[in-house]
Amino acid sequence: MNIWREDNEKAARLEQQHIELVEKTFGVSLPTSYIQALQNQNGGYLKTNAVRVEFEVEDGEKHILLDSLYGIGAEDGIIETEYYREEWEITKDNIVIIGGDGHSFVAFDYEGTTTSPKIVYIDTDCDESHTICDSFEALLDLMYELE
């Protein structure tokens, strides 16, 4: 399934050495489905821009906005997780951030595992995190286009 918008700028090609660097840096294995999605395009804007969630966000909404995913590079993309954690004062440990705009992020949550992360939503304005789903595949199923 291609999740990427057609009007994206050409992203750098996904390279195995960068995947290995990220996995070594964080001490985890990235989900195969995430790597497969990045093989089509290494980060960028999505056809969908929202994700259905079971928890309430601003104004009682039952969705979060997610219009892009970070790719994998030697100096950009998900490797910047620690920078974002420091910059936005994120206290949640064992995460790898895969998307967001600063006020909120979506991340792999590796708490208690190194191979099968849950997907979490992190609201930096109120320092809260909520589980969205149990896998990247499940996240793909929850994504849709918000009009």
| Structural domains of the chain sorted by starting position, each given as residue range(s) with its CATH number in brackets | 16-144 (3.40.1580.10)
In which band, very low, low, confident or very high, does the pLDDT at 126 lie, cut at 50, 70 and 90?
confident
In which band, very low, low, confident or very high, does the pLDDT at 147 lie, cut at 50, 70 and 90?
confident
In which band, very low, low, confident or very high, does the pLDDT at 58 lie, cut at 50, 70 and 90?
confident
Please provide the average confidence, as pLDDT, over all residues in the chain. Answer: 93
Distance CA 69, CA 101 (A): 11
In which band, very low, low, confident or very high, does the pLDDT at 136 lie, cut at 50, 70 and 90?
very high
| pLDDT at 121 > cutoff 90 | yes
CB neighbours of residue 112 within 10 Å: 9
Token readout for 138 is 């499940």
Distance CA 64, CA 61 (A): 8
CB neighbours of residue 15 within 10 Å: 13
| pLDDT at 1 > cutoff 80 | no
133 beta partners: 119
Q: What sign for the dihedral angle of Cα 23, 25, 28, 31? A: negative
Find out whether 22 and 30 touch, Cβ atoms under 8 Å: yes
